[in-house]
């Protein structure tokens, strides 16, 4: 079945209420082991759309424990292939401690080496010692010696995420209803709205070591296929705009793979990679059990299991009387008719830059320092206290007919054609802006001015209906290497 948007509802950005989470400290309430025991009664994802295959059942249970039982100051030492084989739960120093990182790394390494030695001894047929017997009993009866030997090289550590997950559920209150509405418009299952729990714990400022950004953890390369990303704006940082992008990406994945387990895994591993895996193995279960090509490692193999666990744990926490989820606040949305100076706009509206930043996370530092203008047609979100009359009378001096030029340092191998193609501008516009002769060459280290392209939309002023924004504070995965 091919997924298409709900035909009765528009998918344009203008009609969808936006939400933002106000930065602030949220109190983490104590959630004990009782939470994990109660999870068996929690609502899970729709089993017809999101099946818990027998081959992943142990993995799902493992991630439920990581999200709901183990503290962030605990390292779970486990088998990489079957994470339900847990050798030890190691207590760690709080990350705020001066020497926490070095101490914790050393302690984890010592524990992993100890269990590696135990497994080697078991592979050699040694027994009798209490510790050896305990580890041996973690495996099925009559486990072959070579299995223990393989397990010795298959030990992994995983930090607990209980506190982070609770914070994420609190923060998600600001967005989850709106995201579900967006996914419904695109004809997608509501459970997919819980994916940011896996990616970022709904942390608006999340940035992975691979450059994936925002609660949906889009990489820059993938993000550019669905959103505006330039010197002034990075829409990956906007939870609602990025939610629409994620909906389109997930819909595209499903329409190519025809399976939600595969489509969700592709969000992490990439569509082309999952198409190769499907072609090689056929079903999700076979891919999970037998596919070992390329970068299909622990993270990608477990991504769907993490999603299933996150849905279950999050739904349980949402019902908890102990947690107070972030609440929406009303804001006013205004589509700028032209490029605008943020410093000048703040002065006119009598708002601080911090107030604007909280409600517009996609706007980047150059906008606030005045090095770039807010792009034409940008949907600006403002406090509800700003009146319609005030917005209708913004002085002409705030607006500008074009974006400020962006400086670019020429690299070895660059030429005007490659630079123009990279930024989506014409060669002639580069020549005119930089006053270059038709036959003038460029050299490495030279600084060129490059205009930033705005979105191609109608430029007439438009005040969007009031939006309900949530505001609060928040802490990736995936390369969303989607």
- This prediction has a pTM of 0.80
Work out the pLDDT band at 457, boundaries 50, 70, 90. Answer: very low
Same domain, 312 and 202: yes
Identify the CATH number of the domain in which residue 299 sits: 1.10.530.10
Number of domains, the chain: 4
pLDDT digits over 383-411, tens only? 999 999 999 999 999 999 888 877 888 99
102, part of any domain: yes
Q: What does the pLDDT read at residue 133?
A: 93
36 pLDDT more than 50: no
Same domain, 89 and 209: no
Lowest-pLDDT range, 7-16, 114-123, 238-247? 7-16
pLDDT digits over 165-194, tens only? 999 999 999 999 999 999 999 999 999 999
Same domain, 272 and 345: no
Mean pLDDT of 134-163: 96
Lowest-pLDDT range, 122-136, 187-201, 311-325? 122-136
Lowest-pLDDT range, 69-78, 392-401, 437-446, 458-467? 458-467
61 pLDDT more than 60: yes
295, part of any domain: yes
478 pLDDT more than 50: no
Work out the pLDDT band at 381, boundaries 50, 70, 90. Answer: very high
Q: What does the pLDDT read at residue 5?
A: 62
169, part of any domain: yes
Q: What does the pLDDT read at residue 402?
A: 86
pLDDT digits over 331-376, tens only? 899 999 999 999 999 999 999 999 999 999 999 999 999 989 999 9
Domain with 132, as residue range(s), is 73-159
Mean pLDDT of the chain: 86
Work out the pLDDT band at 46, boundaries 50, 70, 90. Answer: confident
- Boundary of a domain, candidates 319, 347, 379: 319
32 pLDDT more than 60: no
Q: What does the pLDDT read at residue 22?
A: 32
- Here the contacts of 344-352 (C-beta below 8 Å, separation 24 or greater) are 344/395, 344/397, 344/398, 345/374, 345/394, 345/398, 348/394, 348/395, 348/398, 349/382, 349/386, 349/390, 351/382, 351/383, 351/386
Same domain, 155 and 219: no
Same domain, 101 and 78: yes
Q: What does the pLDDT read at residue 43?
A: 62
């Amino acid at each position: 079945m091919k997924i298409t948007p709900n035909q009765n509802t528009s998918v344009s950005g203008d009609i969808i209420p936006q939400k933002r989470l106000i930065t602030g400290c949220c109190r983490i309430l104590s959630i004990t082991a009782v939470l994990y025991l109660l999870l068996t009664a929690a609502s899970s994802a729709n089993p017809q759309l999101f099946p818990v295959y027998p081959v992943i059942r142990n993995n799902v249970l493992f991630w439920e424990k990581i999200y709901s039982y183990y503290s962030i100051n605990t390292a779970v030492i486990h088998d990489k292939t079957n994470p339900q084989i847990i050798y030890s739960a190691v207590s760690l120093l709080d990350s705020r401690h001066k020497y926490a990182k070095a101490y914790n790394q050393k302690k984890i390494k010592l524990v992993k080496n100890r269990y590696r030695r135990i497994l080697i001894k078991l592979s050699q047929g040694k027994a009798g010692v209490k510790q050896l017997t305990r580890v041996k009993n973690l495996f099925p009866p009559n486990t072959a010696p070579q299995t223990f030997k393989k397990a010795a090289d298959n030990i992994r550590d995983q930090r607990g995420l209980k506190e982070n997950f609770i914070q994420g559920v609190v923060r998600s209150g600001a967005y989850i209803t709106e995201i579900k509405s967006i996914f419904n418009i695109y004809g997608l299952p509501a459970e997919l709205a819980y994916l940011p729990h896996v990616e970022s714990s709904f942390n608006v400022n999340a940035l992975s070591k691979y450059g994936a950004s925002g609660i949906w953890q889009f990489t820059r390369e993938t993000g550019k296929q669905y959103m505006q990303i330039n010197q002034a704006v990075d829409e990956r940082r906007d939870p609602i705009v990025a939610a629409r992008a994620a909906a389109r990406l997930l819909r595209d994945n499903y329409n190519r793979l025809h399976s939600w387990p595969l489509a969700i895994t592709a969000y992490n591993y990439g569509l082309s990679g999952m198409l190769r895996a499907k072609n090689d193995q056929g079903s999700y279960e076979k891919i999970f059990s037998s596919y070992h090509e390329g970068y299909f490692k622990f993270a990608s193999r477990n991504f769907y299991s993490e999603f299933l666990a996150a849905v279950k744990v999050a739904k349980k926490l949402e019902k908890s009387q102990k947690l107070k989820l972030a609440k929406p606040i009303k804001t006013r949305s205004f589509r700028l008719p032209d490029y605008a100076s943020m410093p000048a706009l703040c002065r006119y509206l009598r708002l601080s830059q911090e107030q604007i930043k909280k409600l517009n996370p996609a706007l980047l530092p150059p906008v606030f320092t005045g090095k770039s203008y807010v792009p034409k047609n940008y949907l600006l979100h403002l406090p509800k206290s700003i009146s319609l009359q005030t917005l209708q009378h913004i002085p002409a001096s705030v607006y500008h007919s074009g974006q400020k030029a962006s400086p670019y340092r020429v690299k070895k191998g660059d030429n005007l054609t490659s630079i123009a193609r990279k930024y989506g501008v014409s060669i002639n516009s580069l020549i005119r802006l930089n006053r270059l002769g038709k036959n003038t060459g460029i050299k490495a280290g030279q600084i060129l001015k490059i205009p930033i392209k705005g979105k191609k939309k109608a430029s007439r002023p438009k005040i969007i209906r009031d939006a309900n924004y949530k505001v609060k504070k928040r802490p990736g995965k995936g390369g969303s290497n989607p």
